């Protein structure tokens, strides 16, 4: 048998990309590739790119430029660009960077083996179509080597919301949900390989409506069926839109014990004027009411969110409204960004706020969110939580895992095993994680 070729994948951006990179590795595994952790000895380098934030394409071009020496040293080295920048730039990548052999959009990874063959034969291959077929159904199910106790599982892709700032509806296309049976099959497969926690992924995951028994199933029904899988202990999902938070999903947070008490529910802004300009189709008030209902179902729910400051037209008052909403809701953890124009999106046509103003707002918002995060972590001290241990920590003898609330928790105890769910008492906080001891 020929020696295995080495594949190096560098993944940027969201968890969907992490999942996709694993699937690409499996697809190319069937073509004789094994993954390597270094670009230096690779026969193929794939950049799985993200287009969500500023200068994404420029960063990819500068990263590609750095592979010049590698390609000079190894003329057989093939270089590919995948993901959302590939989708957005398409053939332009080939024109601007002659080093690139292959450009593949997020919807056509299952065609990678054929593209790889063409590329090995000396061609340059581009595929950024939105095909009818489900890319995941056409990927080989390889052994997932070295798999830990947690896994991502993509159940839905694309987005029909068209928030005015966002490229996702253009790079990932319209909302598509995978059929229930496929998801259940993949989940059982993961559990058989030792996975105890699954995070269901989708750009708009709570809009999930996949073909199941007797018609379309929503996310809540899917979660309830997944929860029946023996050995699967924890279920999470991300990312959600407030308008798709249906009654049965709210109820599931209250009565499905395997659904973890953590929810990432982006609001983006606390100003109704800005929410309207963003085409979010909800108000600050309706979001707050939704949070109240979720907390009525699950009082200890830890909330996470996304915020954008400096959106075109945002006044001081609009920004104050965002701070007010953050104070009202109380987040355990959150992401905040300075608005940056994405070419092709409606907001890109509008005049932005001055950069110094946006930077100052971002600083103030982040200070408040960090304060809330620390307060939420400090509130855990003295409490008992269940931790799923995932890997050794930085210090010797240390193990780290996640609480139900997705807090990183570390203990120093030689008896703790990877994959174990153990009850621990939180003893302290170290900036971003919690220290604990076994109970
Ligand atoms: N500028 C800044 N932040 C953005 N996000 C999406 N598009 C932009 C943009 N153009 C943020 C949103 C989204 C998260 C994934 O990235 O907050 O929820
Ligand atoms: Fe982008 Fe999310 Fe809005 Fe869809 S709902 S357009 S993915 S920010």
pLDDT in tens, 353-401: 999 999 999 999 999 999 999 999 999 999 999 999 999 998 888 999 9
Q: Which helix (H) or strand (E) holds 1?
A: none
Mean pLDDT, residues 392-420: 94
Rounded-to-integer distance, Cα 348 and Cα 184, Å: 40
Ligand 2: nearest atom to the Cα of 280: 3
Residue 140 has a pLDDT of 60
Ligand 1: nearest atom to the Cα of 345: 10
Residue 177 has pLDDT above 80, yes or no: yes
Nearest to 156 by CA among 208, 225, 234: 208
Q: For the chain, list the domains and their CATH numbers.
A: 5-127 (3.40.50.12160), 144-378 (3.80.30.20), 384-438 (2.40.50.140)
Q: Categorize the per-residue pLDDT at 247 as very low, low, confident or very high, splitting at 50, 70 and 90.
A: very high
Computed over every residue of the chain, the mean pLDDT equals 93
Ligand 2 shell residues, CB under 6 Å: 159, 161-163, 166, 168-169, 203-204, 241
Q: What is the pLDDT of residues 121-154, one digit of tens each?
A: 988 888 888 876 666 666 666 555 457 899 999 9
Q: Are strands 408-412 and 433-438 parallel, antiparallel or unpaired?
A: parallel
Residue 127 has a pLDDT of 87
Ligand 2: nearest atom to the Cα of 239: 2
* CA-nearest residue, atom 1 of ligand 2: 166
Residue 265 has a pLDDT of 98
Query: Which ligand is closest to the CA of 275, given by its number?
Result: 2
Cβ-contact 7, 44 below 8 angstroms: yes
CA 281–ligand 2 middle distance (angstroms):
11
Ligand 1: nearest atom to the Cα of 167: 7
Residue 182 has pLDDT above 60, yes or no: yes
Pairwise pLDDT comparison (273 vs 71), residue with the higher score:
273
- Best of 267, 269, 307, 337 for a ligand 1 pocket test (most atoms within 8 Å of beta carbon): 337
Residue 13 has a pLDDT of 86
Residue 217 has a pLDDT of 97
CA 173–ligand 1 middle distance (angstroms):
17
Q: What is the pLDDT of residues 278-303, one digit of tens each?
A: 999 999 999 999 999 999 999 999 99
CB of 348 shorter than 6 A to ligand 1: no
Residue 226 has a pLDDT of 98
CA 339–ligand 1 middle distance (angstroms):
7
**Phi then psi dihedrals of residue 423, to 5 deg:** -85, 125
CA 350–ligand 2 middle distance (angstroms):
18
Mean pLDDT, residues 46-70: 88
- The set of residues, in sequence order, having a beta carbon less than 8 Å from that of 322 and lying 6+ positions away, is 269, 270, 271, 307, 309, 365
CB of 339 shorter than 6 A to ligand 1: yes
Other beta carbons less than 10 A from residue 412's beta carbon? 15
- The set of residues, in sequence order, having a beta carbon less than 8 Å from that of 162 and lying 6+ positions away, is 169, 279, 346
Rounded-to-integer distance, Cα 272 and Cα 281, Å: 10
CA 226–ligand 2 middle distance (angstroms):
26
Torsion over CA: 329, 335, 336, 339 (sign): negative
Residue 57 has pLDDT above 90, yes or no: no
Residue tagged 């077929």 (tokens): 133
**Phi then psi dihedrals of residue 59, to 5 deg:** -65, -35
Rounded-to-integer distance, Cα 389 and Cα 416, Å: 8
Query: Which ligand is closest to the CA of 156, given by its number?
Result: 2
- The set of residues, in sequence order, having a beta carbon less than 8 Å from that of 263 and lying 6+ positions away, is 240, 253, 294, 301, 302, 303, 304
CB of 165 shorter than 6 A to ligand 1: yes
Q: What is the pLDDT of residues 92-129, one digit of tens each?
A: 999 999 999 999 998 888 889 999 999 999 888 888 88
Torsion over CA: 340, 342, 343, 346 (sign): negative
Residue 138 has a pLDDT of 64
For the chain, how many residues are written? 439
Cβ-contact 51, 17 below 8 angstroms: no
- Among the residue ranges 128-142, 214-228, 326-340, 360-374, the one predicted with the least confidence is 128-142
Other beta carbons less than 10 A from residue 184's beta carbon? 16
Residue 64 has a pLDDT of 92
CA 71–ligand 2 middle distance (angstroms):
38
Query: Which ligand is closest to the CA of 281, given by its number?
Result: 2
């Amino acid at each position: 048998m020929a020696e295995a070729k080495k594949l190096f994948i560098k993944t940027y951006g969201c968890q969907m990309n992490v999942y996709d990179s694993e699937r690409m590795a499996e697809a190319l595994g069937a073509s004789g590739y094994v993954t390597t952790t270094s670009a230096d000895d690779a026969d193929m380098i794939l950049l799985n790119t993200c287009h969500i934030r500023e200068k994404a394409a420029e960063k990819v071009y500068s990263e590609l430029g750095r592979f010049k020496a590698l390609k000079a040293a190894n003329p057989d080295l093939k270089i590919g660009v995948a993901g959302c920048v590939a989708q957005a730039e398409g053939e332009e990548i080939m024109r601007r960077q002659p080093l690139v052999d292959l450009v593949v959009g997020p919807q056509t990874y299952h065609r990678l083996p054929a593209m790889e063959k063409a590329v090995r034969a000396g061609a340059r291959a581009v595929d950024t179509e939105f095909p009818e077929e489900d890319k995941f159904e056409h990927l080989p199910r390889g052994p997932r080597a070295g798999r830990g106790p947690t896994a991502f599982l993509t159940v839905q892709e694309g987005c029909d919301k068209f928030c005015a700032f966002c490229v996702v509806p253009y790079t990932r296309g319209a909302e598509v949900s995978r059929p229930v049976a496929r998801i259940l099959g993949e989940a059982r497969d993961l559990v058989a390989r030792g996975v105890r926690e699954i995070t269901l992924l989708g750009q708009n995951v709570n809009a999930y409506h996949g073909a199941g028994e007797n018609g379309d199933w929503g996310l809540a029904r899917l979660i309830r069926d997944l929860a029946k899988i023996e050995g699967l202990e924890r279920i999470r999902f991300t990312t959600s839109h407030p308008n798709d938070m249906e009654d049965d999903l709210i109820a599931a947070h209250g009565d499905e014990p395997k659904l973890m008490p953590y929810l990432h529910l982006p609001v983006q802004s606390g100003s109704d004027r800005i929410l309207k300009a963003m085409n979010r189709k909800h108000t600050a008030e309706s979001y707050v009411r939704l949070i109240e209902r979720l907390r009525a179902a699950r009082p200890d729910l830890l909330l996470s969110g996304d915020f954008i400051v400096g959106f075109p037209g945002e006044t001081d008052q609009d920004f104050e409204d965002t701070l007010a909403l953050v104070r009202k809701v109380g987040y355990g953890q959150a992401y905040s960004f300075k608005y940056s124009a994405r070419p092709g999106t409606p907001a890109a046509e509008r005049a932005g706020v001055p950069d110094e103003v946006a930077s100052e707002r971002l600083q103030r918002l982040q200070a408040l969110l960090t304060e809330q995060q620390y307060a939420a972590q400090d509130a855990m001290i003295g409490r008992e939580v269940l931790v799923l241990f995932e890997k050794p920590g930085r210090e010797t003898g240390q193990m780290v895992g996640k609480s139900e609330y997705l807090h990183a928790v570390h203990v120093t105890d030689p008896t703790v095993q990877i994959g174990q769910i153990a009850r621990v008492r939180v003893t302290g906080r170290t900036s971003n994680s919690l220290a604990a001891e076994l109970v």
